Structure 1
Amino acid sequence: MPVPPPSTLSAGRRRRSAAPLVLGLAVLLLASLVCGVGLGAAGIGWAEVLRFLWAGLTGGTVRAGDAAAYTIVWEIRLPRTVLGAVVGAGLAAVGTAVQAMVRNALADPFVLGVSSGAAVGANAVILLGAFAGLGVWALSASAFASALAAMALVYAVARSPHGLTPLRLILTGTALAFGFEAVTTVMVFGAARGEAARAAMMWLLGSLGGATWAQVPLAAVTVAAGWAWLRVRAEALNALAMGDETAAALGVPPGRLRRELFAVTAAVTGTVVAVSGAIGFVGLMVPHLVRMLVGADHRRVLAVAPLAGAVLLVWADVLSRLLLAPAELPVGVITAVLGVPAFLLLMRRGGYAFGSR
């Protein structure tokens, strides 16, 4: 049976098409990617940036004197910008799903404790030198493995004879997140001060400074697969957002769907956190802003939110590089500075509520 979106429950509300917004955001994202590559502490002209991008895409060659600038553009800025777009898209898509899964407007991808769990593994590498044998993969692999362990622990504790209920998921994820953060704090205070502690802080607040081409394919495939699954299940998400009883009446088993959502969102969150650290506010703020533009139907929200999240994080990373150049700010600081006032204005907007148009 087709599942009506929540917006159809209110008569007379105008249906807004997402197609023009999707097209506009796609063009904006392409322009943002080019700007993200062209802007940085090292002054490289736009003509050179475009020439280096064309050479990299077509397999062309560059002059010997341009080798250093080409390396900055193609090997440092471009993978960083692309990874930022992938992470932003993943956080926005997962944030949309988590808010429907737990039916809580304040939920975000980190409410399940996955981010805090990943921080334990990441800081074990940064502060204690664990898994040094994995080389450049040590940080991402350790963060992802600890994220999966946190996911398994949250699932085991939150599960009850009645399945995974929203309240148990939120309470369990929040409680275990505090526990993981306590472990991380002990590790930071117990480690020697200096560059390691600073690197740990950068990771905890989110950073794309260590992005490489090797990280992009796995993150992109995981985010794309997770988004595709969510799009297929968009009508079921509409039903779940209206409550378990309504979902069951419409033929959507809420317990099974919530378990599937838990696995998908945790896997995507664990993957993006492993390559970028804990970047806040994207998964919380973007879904709400998108609902204001296209309504509460998840078929439209999931079409727009990943593009909006990608654009937001690309520009947040650009600002993190430029504001204190040549030093860098954590990306999470920029998203918080942008997100806090935007979210407060959203909350003060008359008539707005989670799941409404």
Structure 2
Amino acid sequence: MLAICALVVVSGAVGSVQVSLREAAHIVLGHLLPGMPWMSDGSLSRLQDQAVWQFRLPRALLAGLAGAGLALAGALMQVTVRNPLAEPYILGVSSGASVGAVLVIVFGSAALGGLSLNVAAFVGALAACVAVAMLARKNGTLSPTRMILAGVALGTLLSAVTSYLTISTDAQNVVSVLFFLLGSVSAATMSSLIGPAVALLVSCLIAAFLSRSLNALMTGDESAISLGVNANRLRGLLLVVASLLTGAVVSVAGGIGFVGLVVPHIARIMVGADHRRMLPITVLGGAVFLMTADLLARTVAQPTEIPLGILTAFVGAPFFMWLMRQGGAEKAGFGR
């Protein structure tokens, strides 16, 4: 939590409008505690206040919520299919959200019944979740292998649809489409935090309640059933929770990969595979990871901003390959 608070302050101080770390902290605390004296001493300009409170703070908070949500979704997905390489995007949920968003960008909100970009992205993610569940079900059960295959196939199909829409639209829309597909929190507002925050809170409560069942599912279906866990029903619930959580994040932050893949893996190496300890570390680690990535995205190539999806892939892919080289999967409890 201290790291998250520190990143919020640092994020508030980074930008074209000069604000010191102390001033950024004063602005944030001044809005949260309006009776405190530092907001009325005249030392801070209105421009500084707007830069921190209206633009930089929502951006930092959305990055934290998105990182925490994607990391938690990845952890749940890895348990669902008992594979350390699994993540929400393998189900095609991100591709479904992208199709919904691109439809709004290309054809306009009016052509889709007045749906906003965020709502259309969420609807697309939900539709992809339902489609994967239907394709993966056989004889009344959800097969982990069928879930992965269905997700890959559906994701490929939806990605093809997105690519076609992108190349067939006007040139001025291509930049907007690509920026959304690669992920960004630059357009964050306080209102855009509501959806991911609610989804993360509900998902955290469900995950905490099911932590013992998740431990049982990690040992295999037979062991889980012997402990009184309905493996098929639990997989279905985890699929829905992970997919909806991913959809809520993608609808406001776009496509950001590797968070749900790397962070849960590192958390298991740090504290073990017991989900009562691992899940809180995963949520906090995901927030720290993406908030740090957003800071780098804003500063590494100034004045150009790097899309988050590019940066997380550039950092996450080599790091994850290094972990695998060191036997990280076995240490995380998946190699038994």
Tell me the TM-score normalised to structure 1 length. 0.88
| Corresponding position of 2:119 | 141
Count of aligned pairs = 330
Aligned residue runs from structure 1 range 325-336, under 5 A: 325-336=302-313
Alignment equivalent of 1:174, drawn from 152, 168, 172: 152
Q: Percent identity?
A: 41
Paired amino acid for 1:111: I
Task: After superposition, give the CA deviation of every residue in 1:21-65 in whole Å (9 maximum; x if it has no partner).
Answer: xxxxx2111111211222223332223322322222123656598
Structure 1 residues 134-283: aligned runs within 5 Å: 138-194=116-172, 196-283=173-260
Kept in 2, the 8 Å contact 1:231–1:299? The answer is: yes
Question: What do residues 286-327 of structure 1 show as CA deviations (whole Å, max 9, x unaligned)?
Answer: 011111111111111102110000001001011111122222
| Partner in structure 1 of residue 108 of structure 2 | 129
> What whole-Å deviation, never above 9, does each CA across 1:101-149 have from its counterpart, x for those lacking one?
01111101111111100000111122222347998x7111110011111
CA contact (8 A) 1:118 1:147 kept: yes
Preserved contact between residue 23 and residue 44 of structure 2 (Cα < 8 Å): no
**Structure 1 stretch 52-61 or stretch 114-123: which is displaced more?**
52-61
Q: Higher relative contact order at CA 8 Å, sep ≥6: structure 1 or structure 2?
A: 1
Q: Distance in 2 between matches of 1:232 and 1:34?
A: 33
Q: Which aligned segments of 4 or more residues in structure 1 are displaced greater than 6 angstroms?
A: 132-135
8 Å CA contact retained: 2:96, 2:125: yes
Whole-angstrom distance in 1 between the partners of 2:276 and 2:334: 14
> 1:209 offset after TM fit, Å?
1.0
Distance 1:28 1:49 in 2: 16
Q: Where does structure 2 lack aligned partners over 5 or more consecutive residues?
A: none
**Structure 2 residue corresponding to 1:54, chosen from 25, 29, 36:** 29
Gaps of 5+ in 1: 1-25
Q: Secondary structure at the match of 2:302?
A: coil
Render the CA deviation track for 1:153-180: whole Å, top value 9, x for unaligned.
1122222114111011111011000000
| 1:105 to 2:84 alignment | yes
Question: Does the aligned pair in 2 maintain the 1:90–1:227 contact within 8 Å?
Answer: no
Structure 2 counterpart of 1:346, from 316, 320, 323: 323
